[in-house]
Amino acid sequence: MKPFVFSADSHVREPNSLFYDALPASLRPHAVRAVKEGDAIVTRNDHKVIFKLRLGANPDFGGVTRLGIHDLAGRLIDMEKDGIDAEIAFPSLGLWLYAIDDPEAELGQCEVYNNWNDQYFSGHLNRFVRCGVLPVRNLEHTQQEMRRIAAKGFTAAMLPSITPAGIPKYNDPAWDPVFALAGELGLVFVLHTGTGAETVIAERGPGAAVINYSLQMNDGINAIMYMVSSGLLDRNPKTQIAVIECGASWLAALAERMDEVYVAHDIFVRPKLSMMPSEIIKRQVTVSFQHDRACIMARSVTGTRALMWASDYPHAEGTFPRSKSVIAGLFEGIDITEQEKVDILGGNAARLFRFAIPVQHPETVAA
């Protein structure tokens, strides 16, 4: 029987004028939108250019012409073709909201996105997990928006994977009330790679394409390192973190490295934690991956619970339309039980995001 497959990383494309049309006139100059300039797509507001993607000879790079990027009916067709039963979907334009410096404009655009997302997927909650975007320029706004979307039934919400300049870093106790509230509301914090970064283009010289995407692993490594070592996750044990599109096998390496120094440098270690860093990771951290088989081999360190497969539809680095063959090769040569396989392909994500697994997949439900 085909296992239940949940993609823990995919993207929707908001209408280009979503933010501009919905914001009050006073905040419109901050509205994020994309404009075509020559062979490039420029994401910007009136104040700054946020991201420039040169398409050159490949106008379909990044899946911008895929059936399902704008259109939900088309998306369901592509999911069928690719063998994906359910997804959590992240934004496109909304990935750049952390570039907005003005706290009111940031809050306004997060509200607009979250309302749009809620409406877009309503009626299809048997296939999609809704994920909000949270403002971070004012942590009171963060909590206000968390309460608002949790009341709508959201189980996931994004925080930046890199804290932008001027925002408390993830080892700062200023985050405690926010993390405590997430545990209370059952809202999983999603850290998608590249979010909060001033630029995802760190290098333009030889190797740049491989360097820039590989470097994005560091977003996840740094965020989890800061949250675990500072005691932020230890003090808020019900808070769950999902790191998306940073790969996954680094999590085992990070857990072992932090355990090592936690003991070896114990005279310098502040604060003391109630358990080892690797145990906090096992309890509270989940990671998504497309091709990273090493994370499956290292699962005794992180726990199988930490691993979620994802397609990253419709992006160029994603697995569409080859997800079935990618999944078929995922566990090849690895000693693993059938139960662990169904957990990695869908069960772990469904339980994390409190998504009801369809009854025709009893083997996934059972775990």
Site membership for Mn ion, residue 9 (CB under 5 A): yes
Q: How far is the CB of 160 from Mn ion (least distance, A)?
A: 14
Site membership for Mn ion, residue 87 (CB under 5 A): no
Site membership for Mn ion, residue 85 (CB under 5 A): no
Q: How far is the CB of 11 from Mn ion (least distance, A)?
A: 6
168's CB contacts (< 8 A; 6+ apart) are 139, 174, 175
CB atoms within 10 A of CB 286: 26
266's CB contacts (< 8 A; 6+ apart) are none
Q: How far is the CB of 196 from Mn ion (least distance, A)?
A: 14
| Site for Mn ion, residues 303 to 322, rule: CB under 5 A | 312
Alpha-carbon span 343 to 341, nearest angstrom: 5
Beta carbon nearer to Mn ion, 10 or 304: 10
Taking the CA atoms of residue 95, residue 98, residue 99 and residue 104 in that order, the dihedral angle to the nearest 10 degrees is 120
Beta carbon nearer to Mn ion, 116 or 313: 313
- Say if residues 250 and 285 touch (Cβ distance below 8 Å): no
Closest CA to 117 of 10, 192, 194: 10
| Site for Mn ion, residues 213 to 272, rule: CB under 5 A | 245
Beta carbon nearer to Mn ion, 89 or 167: 89
Q: How far is the CB of 249 from Mn ion (least distance, A)?
A: 18
258's CB contacts (< 8 A; 6+ apart) are 225, 228, 229, 277, 278
List the beta bridge partners of residue 304. none
Beta carbon nearer to Mn ion, 9 or 106: 9
Q: How far is the CB of 130 from Mn ion (least distance, A)?
A: 16
Q: How far is the CB of 10 from Mn ion (least distance, A)?
A: 7
Amino acid at 217: M
Binding pattern to Mn ion, positions 326-355, x when CB under 5 A? Answer: ------------------------------
Beta carbon nearer to Mn ion, 158 or 232: 158
Residues that bind Mn ion (CB under 5 A): 9, 245, 312
